[in-house]
Amino acid sequence: MNRAMGNLLDIGRIAFIVLLICAANLLAGCFGSKTYPNTLGKNLHVHTVTDSGSWFSRVRAAIDIHRVGRDCALDYEGTVQLADSKIDIGIPPHRWSYLVFVFGSSSFLANRSGTITYETLLKARPNYHYDVAVHYRDDMYHVGIRETLPNQSTGREIEPLELSSCRSSVSRK
Amino acid sequence: MNRYHVFIMFLSVLALSGCVSHPQTAEEFRKAVPGAFSAKVETIEVDRPFSQVARTFQKMGPNCLSKTIKTTSQTNMSYQVIVTTYKPTVVVTGKKAELHVQMHHEQGVLNVSKEPEGGYYLLVADAQPVTQTKTRIDLYRPSMGHGVLIQAVKNWATGENIGCPDLTK
């Protein structure tokens, strides 16, 4: 009798764990967020400063990285959470990437949240490095990208490039 | 954007419309603001050449304000999602730079009057040269709410602390 009860409890535990895994998968699918593999040579050096300006609210920053296809279609590759003040990321050179900087803010007292994004196309050049400054302070944000050659301190500021510019160049061809 | 903002927006719409109609062009908006309950005209003068102010408007306006924003707020009894699209327009002529900001609620807010194409006018900033090194900016803006947007436009004019406003605030 006791053994039968034990078996039933074991089955119940296994079913609970399976359900949890299914729920986690389902939620991951719903939110559509996955971690960027970040296995390539590190050429994107992201310096992040975030300050919500209040004890009762929080700001989180992240980068969604997309591969840009020949027809400008986006293929989501993953997200890097900018939880540390400096994070190195590898994006493939020679081809266009679409970077979406996401600032998510939430207020505990008002119980509300919102996200705002800053997007740009970027074609990383081989051997070049890209210093990215990501700032959020006093409800203002700024993203600046500077391209430099290794061992050189100076570089050039990269202006944001909209996805529509890719689409218009494709339609011209 | 929380309920307070929605309420302010509702009041703005009522006040600007006089409960009849909402400004359909930037020029109508300029004329309506001085007599409106929840909007005002503010004039500032900055120590910056007009050409620089105009260039900043041209750069930052589209970069920062062409956005669709989603905010959610919830209590024990309700869950609200508001989706808002902002549309900036920058018009620069030899002696004047104009920044128009419109907003259109895609979801979560009922419109009470006819909406112009591109959305309700939220803010208009007119920059004009005073001297070679000074520029005057007339801001036609809400008097309640949208403080982050207003501050950002002022920063673009002065050239200090230039950044994009978090339009979810």
Domain check: are A123 and A150 in the same one? yes
The mean pLDDT value for B91-99 works out to: 94
Classify domain B3-158 by CATH number.
3.30.530
For residue A74, pLDDT over 90 is answered with yes
Contact A105 B169 (CB under 8 A): yes
Name the residue facing B72 among A112, A117, A135 (closest C-beta).
Answer: A112
Domain check: are A70 and A108 in the same one? yes
Domain count of chain A?
A: 2
Domain check: are A73 and A110 in the same one? yes
Q: Is B143 on the interface with A (CB under 8 A)?
A: no
Domain check: are A116 and A136 in the same one? yes
pLDDT of residue A27: 45
Name the residue facing A141 among B71, B155, B166 (closest C-beta).
Answer: B166
For residue A50, pLDDT over 80 is answered with yes
Least Cα separation, residue A9 to chain B (angstroms):
35
The encoded tokens of residue A160 equal: 């944001």
Contact A114 B70 (CB under 8 A): yes
Domain check: are A143 and A121 in the same one? yes
CATH number at residue A57: 2.60.40
Q: What is the SS3 string spanning chain B?
A: CCHHHHHHHHHHHHHHHCCCCCCCCHHHHHHHHHHCCCEEEEEEEECCCHHHHHHHHHHHHHHHHCCEEEEEEECCCCEEEEEEEEEEEEEECCCCEEEEEEEEEEECCCCCCCCCCCCEEEEEEEEEECCCCCEEEEEEEECCCCHHHHHHHHHHHHCCCCCEECCCC
Domain check: are A100 and A126 in the same one? yes
For residue B97, pLDDT over 70 is answered with yes
Is A37 inside any structural domain?
no
Is A135 inside any structural domain?
yes
Is A111 inside any structural domain?
yes
Q: Is A58 on the interface with B (CB under 8 A)?
A: no
Domain check: are A75 and A136 in the same one? yes
Domain definitions of chain B by residue range: 3-158
Q: Which residue range is the domain that position A154 belongs to?
A: 44-172
Contact A113 B63 (CB under 8 A): no
Domain check: are A28 and A102 in the same one? no
Instruction: For residue range B51-73, list pLDDT tens digits in order.
Output: 999 999 999 999 999 999 888 88
**ipTM surpasses 0.90:** no
Contact A117 B67 (CB under 8 A): yes
For residue A114, pLDDT over 80 is answered with yes
